[in-house]
Amino acid sequence: MRQFDLAPLYRSTVGFDRLFSALDQFVSADAVPTYPPYNIERTGENAYRITVAVAGFTDSDLSIEVKENALTLKGERKADPEKRSEVLHQGIAARGFERRFQLADYVQVTGASLENGLLHVDLVREIPEAKKPRTIQIASGRASATPTIEGSVQQAA
């Protein structure tokens, strides 16, 4: 795979650190973890769900943290001192993990649930009213009319 050098871009831009870090992670496929497997689904117009296969983990073994625009899922199985069986074949992974997801602006975690060995994390994109597109009314050719923010027309006194 061909490596891209983003260093020249770092030298000539200001404030794009997060973008270039994401590009660095994207082009270096060797650093991408594959465990545990996960799905990302769109469940509505502005709703999403991340489903992570966490067989063998309990809710006390898992943690979910949101900081800035990053969602971090961690799993660490605690050893059971009472279990003293001898494992003849271990095909079910029991190792800990940390999986990070970069969230877009205005994406919030609304809840999480664990069922049948799957961790579901629900997200919603809530754009503030001030950031939503709005339609501006065009006033007629009368010089005395002034448009307001709501788009209605007021007559000048």
pLDDT tens digits along 20-47: 666 666 655 555 678 899 999 999 988 9
Q: Are 61 and 112 found together in one domain?
A: yes
- Asked if the model's pLDDT at residue 73 lies above 50, the reply is yes
The HSE-up count of residue 114 (CA atoms within 13 Å, CB side) is 15
Q: Looking at per-residue confidence, does 155 or 45 come out higher?
A: 45
Average of per-residue pLDDT across 137-157: 61
Phi-psi region of 21 (alpha: psi -120 to 50; beta: other; left: phi over 0): alpha
Q: Are 60 and 75 found together in one domain?
A: yes
Of 119, 131, 124, which is closest to residue 73 (Cα–Cα)? 119
Of 35, 43, 56, 55, which is closest to residue 111 (Cα–Cα)? 43
Q: Are 25 and 37 found together in one domain?
A: no
Full residue range of the structural domain in which residue 115 is found: 33-79+89-129
Determine, yes or no, domain membership for 67.
Answer: yes
Q: How many domains does the chain have?
A: 2
Determine, yes or no, domain membership for 37.
Answer: yes
Q: Are 12 and 41 found together in one domain?
A: no
Q: Looking at per-residue confidence, does 7 or 72 come out higher?
A: 72
Determine, yes or no, domain membership for 16.
Answer: yes
Of 137, 133, 143, 117, which is closest to residue 57 (Cα–Cα)? 117
CATH number, residue 58? 2.60.40.790
Q: Are 121 and 103 found together in one domain?
A: yes
- Asked if the model's pLDDT at residue 157 lies above 50, the reply is no
Q: How far apart are CA 107 and CA 48, in angstroms?
A: 9
